[in-house]
A = this chain, B = another copy of it.
Amino acid sequence: MRKFNFYPGPSTIATSVLEKMRAEFIEFEDTGAAFFELSHRSGTVVDCQRRIVARLRQLMGVGDDYHVLLLHGGAIGQAAAIPMNLLRGKKQAAYAITGHWGRLAAGHAEAHCQVERCIDTSPECTSIPPADQWQVPADCAYVHFTDNETINGVEFQELPDLDGQLLVADQSSNILSRPWPTDKVALTYACLQKNIGPSGMAVVVVRKDLCGEQLPITPAIWNYAKQAKADSMANTPATIQLRMLELVLDWTAEAGGAEEFGRRNRAKADMLYDFIDASDFYANKVDPAVRSRMNIPFVLADASLDDQFVTQAEEAGLIGLRGHRAVGGMRASIYNAMPEQGVSQLISFMQDFAAGNG
């Protein structure tokens, strides 16, 4: 029986999407083969790739002045690919560090340029200073920020207001979880494995005029200009991810798109934060103004009960709640595919656990 899956990624996918994929797993339509057994040059796969791009354009409001690329690897791959493609002769880039993933992205960029950490809230990472406090040098190629930090549970509530700077946003863990001003961001990227599919692919939405000046050492599979020209097929893409991505995007659109998920995710997160804040047994330390709607870390009053909490939660049909090893405690990841019922069952369990151990 399927359980409520709170893993941070890879993570839960709508059961209806899995059922559709399962139904076509031996043969896709009347092709005589599974989708992922067909050549990526076949009309079937090429059409799927085009439908995905059109769907992403619709769901994210992507204009004609942007490329939509579907590339190998996840966000850590792109953490390397972004400076390779976007430095455009400049010597430095700025990184806003509001948690684990921003810190990692900055480290990966250091192989290619001088990295200015324009803010760094380490080690606590429980707040985000307003943009007028960021130290952004004048001649940066771009300013990178992690729109949602999965481990620290910190999320930007709006774009940092940095007039005249090119923004690069890592939306790995909150893409399509709410409306997003794609046209105000130079590059938006995300791995699939939180809100839009299984791991093994990244979506990159990038302004066309910024592509084409990549470093000579840029691998072909991450050369944005080359991949744009080839409709993301300069090499063989991960075709099973393509088809699953399409099914998840269809499901996202049918449910009402980013606006509807914005409402649902706000409601789910409010329910859980309200419960935690009202409790003496659980605590979340993040500044309420920047709390993540996707990943809600919390600690128990007595950390020696952590293992017991995880075990009993699993017995109650709630999996994936252990916090990241870097910070400990618990974490509930409640992406688009987590229904409200999953959150209310989690709260019921947390109530019972607190009552039994308070």
Contact = CB atoms under 8 A, between A and B. Distances in A.
A4 to B, nearest CB: 8
Nearest to A325: B41
Nearest to A314: B32
Contacts of A21: 25
Contacts of A40: 10, 199
A200 to B, nearest CB: 3
A19 B26 contact: yes
A15 B27 CA distance: 10
A229 interface: no
A46 interface: no
Nearest to A218: B111
Taken together, the copies of this chain in the complex come to 2
A239 B33 contact: no
B39 A8 contact: yes
Interface in A95-113: 108, 111-112
Interface string A117-128: 000000000000
Interface stretch (A69-77, A156-164, A253-261, A268-276): A69-77
A238 B236 contact: no
Contacts of A32: 1-3, 5, 317, 319
A37 B74 contact: no
Interface string A234-253: 11111111001000000000
Contact of A200 (B1, B9, B80, B239): B239
Contacts of A33: 2-3, 5, 7, 12, 319
Contact of A235 (B22, B76, B317): B76
Contacts of A111: 216-218
Interface residues of A, number: 66
Nearest to A19: B26
Contacts of A12: 33, 37
Contact of A11 (B1, B37, B77, B220): B37
Nearest to A3: B32
Contacts of A325: 41
Contact of A26 (B2, B74, B199): B2
- For A72, A81, A325, which residue has the most chain B Cβ atoms within 10 angstroms? A72
Interface in A209-223: 216-221
Interface string A195-231: 0001111000000000000001111110000000000
A38 interface: yes
B236 A191 contact: yes
A320 interface: yes
A232 interface: no
Contact of A219 (B31, B42, B77, B234): B77
Contacts of A281: none
Nearest to A45: B10
Given A76-B221, A108-B220, A240-B198, A13 B34 contact: yes
B1 A219 contact: no
A85 to B, nearest CB: 13
12 contacts: A1-B27, A3-B31, A13-B34, A15-B26, A22-B25, A32-B317, A40-B199, A77-B219, A77-B235, A198-B239, A200-B201, A200-B237
